[in-house]
Amino acid sequence: MSNGASSKSSKGVKLAYMLAVINAIVIGASFLFVKLSLNYASPFDTLTFRFAAAFIILSIPTAFGLLKLNYRGKPIYKLLLLATMYPIGFFTLQTFGLQHATSVEGGIISAFSPVVTLVLASAFLKEATSLLQKLSTLLSVFGIVFIFMMKGSSFDFSNLKGIVLLLLSCTVFAGYSVLARSVTKHFTPVEISYFMVSVGFAAALVISFTVHGTNGTLGSLFAPLTSLTFIGLILFLGSVQLATALMGSYILSRIEASKMGVFLNLSTIVSIAAGALVLGETIAWYHLVGSLLIIVGVIGTNLPARQRGTTKIKTTAA
């Protein structure tokens, strides 16, 4: 019985690692589709439609009883706090931060999410990481910073307001990753994802209506829906939103938040490759060097720590 449970747990961890790679690939590839969708609508309106699509896609099988949801007797307040962090807090801070800072600055700052996650996971979840794992996380972050810096990008501290908001979004996402580890003990990945998508959709819709109502541009909110291309992009991005939410919840139920966080840096490599293949963007030598640093950092972060610490974590996760 014990061997069977251990084997099942081991398979779950292996699946979580595989999904972590797939999750990073999906997120990285989605950047291209986000860029295309912004030709039709503003960032926040696009986000509203993405959440709407994800909500509808998940609600259909739920309505037919194909997916089971049970929130009775469970700590809903934890889900509310989680949804406040992500998607509401993260996307709101990121959106307004990018209004006062460049996308390059946003990319560099978001690369530090794994470091903040590692610190918070160590403080609140008591996740043990070796010196090699800490250095590997920093190496992965440096890989991304290296790519942006070699492109001739730097921080403009006249954009201080935007930089502060982006740093807050980075911290909020790290907090979400840490809290999600606790929430997965009470809710299934489907229950977490449905709740987050529903709250995200409601919040984004209210904000979009408020902004357009104040500016007297309510008619323009639904104008992009006259384009079949935009509808196709939104359906795809909604599916991605849903898939990443489901995968993220499962991954965090099986592996440590500090290890999950560094996997997201792989999305930078995927976005570079997608830009080259689809948009014909040039891949320079520093893209390859930075990508290698990211990959080595991710591998190093996920190497086993001392046996005693690893066993303790696996027992907790199981």
CA distance 189 to 195: 10
pLDDT of residue 314: 40
Q: Which domain holds residue 223?
A: 2-317
Split into its structural domains, the chain has a count of 1
pLDDT of residue 264: 83
Q: From first to last of its 318 residues, what are the pLDDT tens digits of the chain?
A: 456 556 657 788 899 999 999 998 888 888 788 878 888 998 889 989 999 999 999 999 999 989 899 999 999 999 999 999 988 888 888 878 877 776 667 777 777 889 999 999 998 888 888 999 999 999 999 998 888 888 765 666 667 888 888 889 889 989 999 999 889 989 999 999 999 999 999 999 998 999 999 999 988 999 999 999 999 999 999 999 899 989 999 999 899 988 888 898 888 888 888 878 877 778 889 899 999 999 999 999 988 765 444 434 343 333
